[in-house]
Structure 1
Amino acid sequence: MSAAPTRKYLGETVEVKAAHRIDEARLVQFLSDTVADFEGPLSLRQFEGGQSNPTYLLTTPRRKYVLRRKPPGVLLKSAHAVDREFRVMRALWETGFPVPEPLVLCQDDSVLGTAFYVMRHVEGRVFLDNAMPDLGREDRAAVFDSVNATLARLHSVDHVALGLEDFGRGGNYFSRQIGRWSQQYEASRTEDLAAMDRLIAWLPGAVPQDDETRLIHGDYSFHNVLIHPTEPRVVAVLDWELSTTGHPLGDLMYHTMEWYRPPHCDARGTLLGADLAALGVPDLDAYVTLYCERTGRAPVENLGFHKAYNLFRVAAIIQGIVARALGGNAAASVDAAEQSARVRVLADAAWGYAQEAGAVA
């Protein structure tokens, strides 16, 4: 698999897609009324990429902004909650946590057709290849350190003090997630995979005993972390659509999947089998230990459970894509056979990690 290029904020921009066009005159009027330093004229482009909420780059002679909105059409009630994104980003911005400054939320559909919010644009780099081939060894090591420190900082935030006590459900995080993705997998099953069946049976009884609730990002990956244009440090964490309250190790071990994900399962590649010392990248144990030191928590026990759980979760998500593709409800570019192969590889790897954690067939 070829290395993915380094790209700018949320990918390259393109002309606004026909399905996502908005009334620019209405937008200019709204921003003139609500954003203190806004002055037109306005140039509008759309960010390319897989984000589920259409995202636009707004350029004026003096400033750049980013607009995220719900997509048009009939939506699931809890999906595409831009108001939740705005709420958590506003709370974190006020603590000095690195997020783009959220400026205004509009829930009046008469303005642009769907709810949206506007934030300031932040210049930076997104690395889509986890090995970051564009960087030298020292800069690469510094980026990994900064990303680790930023996640530790997020999990040290007192979300109750920020007014986010009701931002998600508390307690039993892993049990609830395992139940949810087991049901999703069963609902989208298209073939029998022994590894998935074994994981569904084993995971509930292997859940760690500690029950901790913190603010979590939900998709903390290198593609959602913006690095300074020239310096090896985090300047903003992006895409808070999946943010909630839950167990912080859910965030950490999802993020560290880069170290244990099997090859050929993701366009971003994997660090599994890479010469980490040559890259300047810490191994998984060292990276997790550093996070624990920064958050003041005890060392993470039973990494095998967390590896198995995260790969199982991803396999269940991809199985849903397979089912939609076979049912004619997915994008034409989705190859069901190719996605099914990914499910099998992920499931087998997950079961292997489960066996390392004590699971018996």
Structure 2
Amino acid sequence: MAAADLTPVQPHHRFDEARLAAYLAKHLPDFKAPLTVQQFKGPAASPAFMLHSPGRNFVLRKRSQPKKGCSMAESIERDFGLLRALHGAGLPVGQPQLACTDESVIGAPFYLLDYVPGRHFRDPGLPGMDAKQRQAHYEAMAETLARLHALLPAQTSLPANGSGLDYLTRQVTALIEQYRTNATDEIAAMERLLDWLPAHVPTDDVTSLMHGNFRLDSLTFHSSEPRVVAVHDWDLALIGHPLADLAINCMPWRVTIPGMGSLQGIDFIESGIPGEPDYLNAYCRHSDRDGIPHWNFYLAFALFRVAVMAQGIVKRGANGNPANPAAAQALKVYAALVRSVANQAWNLIDGSDDG
């Protein structure tokens, strides 16, 4: 998160800033008034706010929805515990300061951590950089993901909840159920994936921390160096499989998702941005891997995940019967995305060495 991404607090997220300042004065050492608040742009399960106080800035996050099986307060405490574990292990996150489960302060549980200044990139094409700079920033992203995956699950404070193999099996089962609930049209490639994926989950049972949505705009880079100084958006973090996390990270090479940026159509040689094979090689170097077996399965899994999420948007939109022409057009875009991503996923595994 960077200061350039700030906006006034949105009406539906406003809270009593004076009450918050009084709470911080009581619970946060060295806090100084006055306090001013801005909101970071972008949707998130945990809306983020910049708190400005004399000589010190903080990031406040609250949740819009709790994690599955948790209350809102438990979700915030879980997120805060993970951040403390990551910071304690020397990984790039702002230093956690406090967690508050008293909803009377701002209307929802929240946590606070130090703001880490730096550069934040929303366009994965990295306009304004030369080829060498782009390559170095993508190398830094691969290195950071490998570092996260190297953290022992027991060090994260997250519940183990099974192994990496358990994660893949549970996720495939849950995504299939979610898709069947939301399906509006029969798509041949999706029907094939529904049968193929659960029957071909790899047996290489590797377990690690998963960020769950790791991409370039989840990172803050050093103000002048190609070095990651903070990783954000830990809402989907859990103990799972590192290669599923890597495949999710590689989605910009594979698909264009509205509002999320893409590497589709990039000239990798001219731009300096690594193609997917080179990016995977960088990840393998930093994680001491000789290669990635069953890569097509993990890609198909990640693409299937995108298709299922897009289908959920289509179903919700269809139930709402949008009269707005722009909304109706957006639904058509998502419906087309479901088909194109499903076809791409099936083409990856049809005849591949993943069986």
TM-score of the superposed pair, with normalisation by structure 1: 0.89
Give the Cα separation in 1 of the matches to 2:156 and 2:297: 32
Tell me if 1:295 matches 2:290. no
Q: Distance in 2 between matches of 1:163 and 1:257?
A: 25
Q: CA RMSD in A?
A: 2.4
1:317 offset after TM fit, Å?
0.8
Match of 1:136 among 122, 125, 130: 130
1:48 aligns with 2:54: no
Q: Is 1:38 equivalent to 2:39 in the alignment?
A: no
Q: Output aligned runs, 1:117-136, within 5 Å.
A: 117-136=111-130
Residue of 48, 54, 76 corresponding to 1:61? 54
Pick aligned residue for 2:320 from 325, 328, 331? 328
1:5 match: none
CA distance in 1, matches of 2:313, 2:203: 32
The alignment status of 1:282 with 2:280, answered yes or no, reads: no
State, as a whole percentage, how many aligned pairs show the same letter. 36
CA distance 1:349–1:79, shift in 2 (3 Å)? farther
Structure 2 alignment gaps of length 5 or more: none
Correspondence list, 1:61-100, <5 A: 61-71=54-64, 77-78=69-70, 81-100=75-94
Structure whose residues are more often helix by fraction = 2
Determine helix, strand or coil for the equivalent of 2:32. coil
Q: 1:75 to 1:353 in 2, by over 3 A?
A: closer
Shift of 1:77: 4.8
**Equivalent runs, 1:233-244 vs 2, <5 Å:** 233-244=227-238
Could you tell me how far apart the structure 2 residues matched to 1:76 and 1:327 are?
24
Q: For 1:95 and 1:155, how far apart are their aligned partners in 2?
A: 12
- 1:18 counterpart residue number: 11
> Does residue 339 in structure 1 map to residue 331 in structure 2?
no
Partner of 1:112: helix, strand, or coil? coil
CA displacement at 1:354 relative to structure 2: 1.8
Q: How far, CA to CA, are the matches of 1:148 and 1:315 in structure 2?
A: 25
Q: Residue deviations 1:126-159, cap 9 Å, x none?
A: 2222111121111111111111111111111123
Q: TM-score, normalization: structure 2?
A: 0.91
- Residue deviations 1:10-36 (CA, integer Å, cap 9, x gap): 862222222211111210111112221
- Comparing 300-309 with 313-322, which one deviates more in the overlay? 300-309
Task: Report the AA paired with residue 104 of structure 1.
Answer: L
Do the aligned partners of residues 142 and 359 (structure 1) sit closer, same or farther apart at CA in structure 2, a change above 3 Å counting?
closer
State the partner residue of 2:299: 307
Matched, 1:200 2:165: no
Q: 1:168 to 1:282 in 2, by over 3 A?
A: same
Q: CA deviation at 1:189?
A: 0.8
**Contact 1:305–1:357 (Cα < 8 Å) also in 2:** no
Return the offset for 1:336. 1.9
In the alignment, structure 1 segments of 5+ residues that lack a partner are 1-7
Contact 1:304–1:357 (Cα < 8 Å) also in 2: yes
Q: Deviations over 1:92-126 (max 9, x none)?
A: 10111101111100011122221100111111222
Within 2, Cα distance between the matches of 1:245 and 1:359?
24
Give the letter aligned to residue 225 of structure 2: E
CA positional deviation for 1:199: 0.6
Q: 2:347 is matched with which residue?
A: 352
| Structure 2 SS opposite 1:104 | strand
Aligned residues: 349
Tell me, what secondary structure is at the counterpart of 2:113? strand
Q: Is the 8 A contact 2:78 2:158 kept in 1?
A: no
Write the deviation string for residues 214-242 of structure 1: whole angstroms up to 9, x where unpaired.
Answer: 11111111111111222221110001110
Matches of 2:68 and 2:243 in 1, distance apart?
A: 28
Q: Partners of 1:256 and 1:109 in 2: how far apart? A: 38
